[in-house]
Amino acid sequence: MTFTLPDLPYAYDALQPYMSKETLEFHHDKHHAAYVNTGNNLLKGSELEGKSVEEVVKGSYGKNQPLFNNAGQHYNHIHFWQWMKPKGGGAIPGSLERKIKEDLGGTEKFKEDFIQAGVTQFGSGWCWLAVKDGKLTIMKTPNGENPLVHGAKPILGCDVWEHSYYIDYRNRRPDYLKAFIENLVNWEHVEKMYSEASR
């Protein structure tokens, strides 16, 4: 399977004012497209050609760094677009909210810790809500890494590379993370990934 760039699940201007049309045009059409194109060039002739995106991510980790970087970022961005929606944020669906309370000390504590993970990821990377050994956990990873290569399944991730926020927030990464969690997250999609990850 070759990588393909998915369309955004909403219009380029649909996430304004929290994420601008300009940011989405650059982020999706230039950055994500580059991971897809470079990833496909690196996949050609490799032993992972024909595997699923997840299999390429796991199979290249620690073995083929250039391929891993691009496959990891392709996987991360496929989900990143779906983890947001217009008029996002708001109430967390009941079953997931209960699990957040049980494993992470409640919604407010979870939000604080998620933002903190994103703020303290030094340089480029991601912060995550993931399922590991049946429990919810907050993680952060550098560059294109994700929870898949650390024995966990991501159910929500926020891109903290500067290309994700610098046009709209300049250096104010904490403000971007707060807007993401309060106004952009598609919790229905997070809950769907949570039930799939819990099977």
The binding site for Mn ion (CB under 5 A) comprises 159, 161
State which residue, 73 or 186, has the beta carbon closest to Mn ion: 73
- Closest distance to Mn ion from the beta carbon of 32 (Å): 7
- Closest distance to Mn ion from the beta carbon of 141 (Å): 13
The strand pair at 125-132 and 135-142 is best described as: antiparallel
Distances (CA, A) of 111 to 2, 59, 71, 116: 36, 32, 28, 8
- Closest distance to Mn ion from the beta carbon of 27 (Å): 6
Rounded Cα–Cα distance for residues 37 and 103 (Å): 39
User: Closest residue (Cβ) to Mn ion?
Assistant: 159
State which residue, 153 or 166, has the beta carbon closest to Mn ion: 166
State which residue, 100 or 179, has the beta carbon closest to Mn ion: 179
State which residue, 159 or 168, has the beta carbon closest to Mn ion: 159
Chain centroid to CA 113: how far? 16
Q: What share of the chain is helix, strand, coil (3-state, %, to 5)?
A: 55, 15, 35
- Closest distance to Mn ion from the beta carbon of 124 (Å): 9
24: tokens are 């989405």
- Closest distance to Mn ion from the beta carbon of 164 (Å): 5
State which residue, 96 or 160, has the beta carbon closest to Mn ion: 160
Distances (CA, A) of 114 to 39, 92, 119, 128, 155: 29, 15, 9, 7, 13
Rounded Cα–Cα distance for residues 168 and 134 (Å): 36
